[in-house]
């Protein structure tokens, strides 16, 4: 009887609750390649919310990245807006190769996304100092493009399994030399390529975080090292990390910090389909507090290390890891990842 009453109470709460939906945005400004823009705006937003632009992989869609990542669920909790752009290319890849997209306000897919950001600032009151970009694969490449061509708009980026800014430059959507990790440049050359994205720009550059699996079979791991050269040059950092954290944020992953504005996380034995670490990204963007701090200790000479993450202890398989009102662990024990089920419940699986 008690269980039945609790179920009825929960159903009543759900019936009275109106959840935000992914909505298409049109007429938002210059959009020469017809990029689709979809927005998730949770209820209860503050007057000047943060904005995350979350960009899908090749063959993906805005809807797929919306349902396949936890940014919308986290937006319900932390009250920020998420824009999910949709690539106009028939293969679902982003234009990260044309001179237009690589240059500030010159055209290409990047201009359509930049227009959507400006629309969000002017129409929804988004805090222009809290606009962030993230994405996976082709979306990670576009994250780098936006950071290079629109540093006046993007304040921080997090790129999962991408390539350096300008690495795909050329006549076609696909650049085999870059994808295979055969395109190498000096740090100065890579940095100059970023600076060419917005000629004459002298303002601040977005802080960057890059993630890459060592067994990436689509975009060779060498691109990780080339991107490190690029962004350390932009910030004037040494290519030798000032801090290295093992098992951060997951077992076998290594976080290297080169300065306050650049981090690079290497995921050992992880292929191209690298699991997105949304909680870590929100820490990097400053939406959640504390920043990523992972410590590893050994409890005995023959016992494995135990890892602590910003969200507390790691959840076990099938355990809850998210949802409205959830205050428990938000990261999962490897190899499991936190998978969205609904706004009330996410599970490690």
Q: Which residues have a catalytic role annotated? A: 137
Burial (0-12, 13-18, 19+ Cβ within 10 Å), 42: buried
Round to whole Å and give the CA distance between 95 and 125: 28
Give the number of other Cβ atoms within 10 Å of residue 136's Cβ: 28
| Residue carrying structure tokens 């290594």 | 254
Nearby residues of 12 by Cβ (< 8 Å), 6 or more positions away? none
Which residues make beta-bridge pairs with 25?
37
Round to whole Å and give the CA distance between 87 and 89: 6
Round to whole Å and give the CA distance between 79 and 53: 14
CB 165 within 8 A of CB 205: no
CB 138 within 8 A of CB 96: yes
Round to whole Å and give the CA distance between 149 and 203: 12
Task: Give, in order, the Cα–Cα distances in Å from 183 to each of 25, 111, 271, 272.
Answer: 38, 26, 20, 18
Instruction: Note the helical H segments in the chain.
Output: 2-16, 62-68, 71-78, 108-124, 138-149, 176-179, 187-195, 222-235, 278-285
SS3 label, residue 171: coil
């Amino acid at each position: 009887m008690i269980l039945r009453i609790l179920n009825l109470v929960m159903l009543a709460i759900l019936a009275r609750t109106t959840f935000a939906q992914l909505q298409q945005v049109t007429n938002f400004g210059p959009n020469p390649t017809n990029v689709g823009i979809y927005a998730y705006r949770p209820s209860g937003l503050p007057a000047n919310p943060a904005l995350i632009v979350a960009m899908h992989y090749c063959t993906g869609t805005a809807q797929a990245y919306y349902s396949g990542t936890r940014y919308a669920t986290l937006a319900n909790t932390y009250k920020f807006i998420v824009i999910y752009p949709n690539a106009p290319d028939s293969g679902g890849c982003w234009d990260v190769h044309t001179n237009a997209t690589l240059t500030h306000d010159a055209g290409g897919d990047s201009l359509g996304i930049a227009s959507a950001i400006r629309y969000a600032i002017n129409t929804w009151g988004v805090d222009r100092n809290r606009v962030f970009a993230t994405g996976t694969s082709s979306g990670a490449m576009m994250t780098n493009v936006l950071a290079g061509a629109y540093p006046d708009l993007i304040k921080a980026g997090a790129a999962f399994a991408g390539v350096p800014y300008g690495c795909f430059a050329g006549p076609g959507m696909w650049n085999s030399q870059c994808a295979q990790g055969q395109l190498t440049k000096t740090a100065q050359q890579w940095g100059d390529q970023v600076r060419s994205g917005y000629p004459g720009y002298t303002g601040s550059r977005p802080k960057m975080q890059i993630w890459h699996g060592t067994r990436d079979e689509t975009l060779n791991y060498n691109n990780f090292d080339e991107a490190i050269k690029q962004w350390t040059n932009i910030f004037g950092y040494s290519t030798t990390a000032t801090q290295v954290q093992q098992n951060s944020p997951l077992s076998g992953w290594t976080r290297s910090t080169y300065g306050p504005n650049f981090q690079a996380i290497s995921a050992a034995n992880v292929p191209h389909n690298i699991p997105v670490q949304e909680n870590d990204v929100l820490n990097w963007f400053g939406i959640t507090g504390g920043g990523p701090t992972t410590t590893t200790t050994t409890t005995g000479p023959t016992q494995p290390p135990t890892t602590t993450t910003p969200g507390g202890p790691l959840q076990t398989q099938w355990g809850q890891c998210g949802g409205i009102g959830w205050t428990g662990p938000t990261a999962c024990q490897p190899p499991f990842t936190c998978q969205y089920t609904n706004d009330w419940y996410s599970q490690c699986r």
